[in-house]
Amino acid sequence: MPDYTGLAKVIKQAAQDAADASKPAGVCFGKVISTSPLQIHVDQKLDLGPAQLVLTRNVTDYDTAMTAEWETELTQGGQGEGAYDSHKHRITGIKLVTIHNGLAVGDQVILLQQQGGQKYIVLDKVG
């Protein structure tokens, strides 16, 4: 009589994969309970760690280039030899700036559960 144990395992895994794939993505909310390592509390039974989270740019610090074109305000001051006349500076060009969007303990976040439920995309902060 043939051994069908291996075949049964393959069929069972295929059925499980199909069931997982049929689970729709869902939106849920969470609260950041730790930033190092990142931990997000979703409900009584679910705390998510770094391996389960995918962060969007909306919830991370990042550098970006921006075009700047402005002038400083007129200033003058000092006394005696340290005195200087009224002047301003023109600032132009492409400048690198840091956007500080990183998560902090206590932040409420919007999560999108990926199909199958293995990963959660942290879309944005609430509020």
Burial class (CB in 10 A: 0-12, 13-18, 19+), 116: middle
Residue scoring higher pLDDT (127 or 49): 49
The 10s digit of each residue's pLDDT in 68-107 is 998 988 877 777 776 777 888 898 999 999 999 999 999 9
pLDDT winner (highest mean) among 8-17, 24-33, 51-60: 51-60
Helix (H), strand (E) at residue 21:
helix 5-21
Residue scoring higher pLDDT (125 or 11): 125
Q: What is the pTM of this model?
A: 0.66
Find residue 48's DSSP bridge partners.
40
What is the structure's pLDDT at 77?
72
Confidence of residue 35 (pLDDT cuts 50, 70, 90): very high
23-60+102-125: CATH superfamily: Nucleic acid-binding proteins (2.40.50.140)
Confidence of residue 65 (pLDDT cuts 50, 70, 90): very high
Q: Is the peptide bond before 37 cis (omega within 30 degrees of 0)?
A: yes
Q: Alpha carbon 82 to chain centroid distance?
A: 48
Q: Where are the domains of the chain?
A: 23-60+102-125
Nearest 10 degrees: Cα torsion 117, 54, 30, 44: 50
Please, what is the average pLDDT of the chain? Answer: 86
